[in-house]
Amino acid sequence: MLQNGLTRRLKIDYPIIQAPMAGGVTTSELVAAVSNAGGLGMIGAGYLSPDQLRNQIMEIKALTRKNFGVNLFVPNQYAVDEQKLKHSEKYLQTIESEIGIPTVTPSLPNYKQDKETFQQMVNIVLEENIPICSFTFGIPSEEIRTKLKENASIIIGTATTVQEAIMNEEAGMDAVVVQGSEAGGHRGTFAAGEQQSLIGLMSLIPQAADCLSIPIIAAGGIMDGRGLMAAQCLGAMGVQMGTAFLVCEESGANTLHKDAILEASEDQVVITKAFSGKMARGVNNLFIERLQKTEDDLPEYPLQNALTKGIRKAAAASKNPEYMSLWSGQSPRLAKKLTAQELIEKIINETLKLKNVLS
């Protein structure tokens, strides 16, 4: 099952997709290395500007002739609760003065502007003829879906429950990433309740497979050939791996972030809203612990994300992992320092060996 309908559709050798991690992780080198090794490299464009996205696409095109993709965050309307904003800002200032960084008034996001940027990003995907475009935090409008499909782009959605997966299929998405509770980084939940959307892949994949006809791509805690084979047994056609690629040599993640994962055990990886106002999974640290009790009083995503930007940046600059967002899935013990190519080769070898054992 290394070659199947999904790999043929995406024109890749192996059903391994590098998760489109935002925030500088998916360097052009990483994306190109993954695609060159037979997987699908993906640009995590969630926090890029349109110019940055276009530049990165050009860079990657110079590094590989293979298919690669772009992931976009679908902007969502959010409540601006002045009281929560002030409360959070004040608390974060306490931390800022404690760890000795200058307090800067953060520039807050603007939904109307987010929507305009999103449209510009879609236009770049169209103009650059990017063959694969995936979406997180929601389903893009019918107009965008139609335009991308007319341009022969394959569009992939993200779901955290069976119902969200069905919504993606009904909207005409070509495939859907089902994100299990094991997954690192932000939860892609867009319709389900927060707590109700933490479904383990052992449950999520087969239940989604029974309800869908489009290909399922499993994401969450998958790091090796065992995970790829298990995901396929459960009904997925391919896997999307984040943490495994995050610790790779070509990844742009901060060294402290990579080290934190390489040293962590599975029970040190927690769900938190502290960094952004939206549930995300990462290695536990002081920042998460300090904000734990006030999680329900934080401003919504992306407001809290904007508020904590200064702290995260300063913490990285001063090499203090206690105040950085150390996103990781629940399998940090399986993380290995490899190149992207070595990782993909390792997974394929493991998969072939497992097949022999099983048959």
Binding-site ranges for its own copies (CB under 8 A): 1, 161-163, 180-182, 192-193, 195-204, 206-207, 210-211, 218, 220-224, 226-227, 229-235, 265-268, 270-271, 284, 329-331, 333-334, 354-355, 357-359
CB of 259 to its own copies, least distance (A): 18
Greatest C-alpha distance within the chain: 62
CB of 261 to its own copies, least distance (A): 13
Burial of residue 91 (CB within 10 Å: 0-12, 13-18, 19+) is middle
**Closer to its own copies by Cβ: residue 79 or 357:** 357
**Closer to its own copies by Cβ: residue 54 or 273:** 273
**Closer to its own copies by Cβ: residue 185 or 329:** 329
| CB atoms near residue 67 (< 10 Å) | 15
Q: What is the dihedral of CA 324, 330, 336, 340, to 10 degrees?
A: -80
CB of 186 to its own copies, least distance (A): 17
Q: What does residue 218 show for φ and ψ, rounded to 5 degrees? A: -90, 135
- Decide: 70 and 57 in contact? Cβ < 8 Å: yes
C-alpha 86/C-alpha 271 separation (Å) is 24
**Closer to its own copies by Cβ: residue 60 or 261:** 261
SS3 content of the chain, % helix, strand, coil (to 5): 50, 15, 40
N-to-C CA span, the chain = 13
CB of 151 to its own copies, least distance (A): 34
**Closer to its own copies by Cβ: residue 136 or 179:** 179
CB of 29 to its own copies, least distance (A): 28
C-alpha 43/C-alpha 355 separation (Å) is 31
**Closer to its own copies by Cβ: residue 53 or 201:** 201
CB of 270 to its own copies, least distance (A): 6
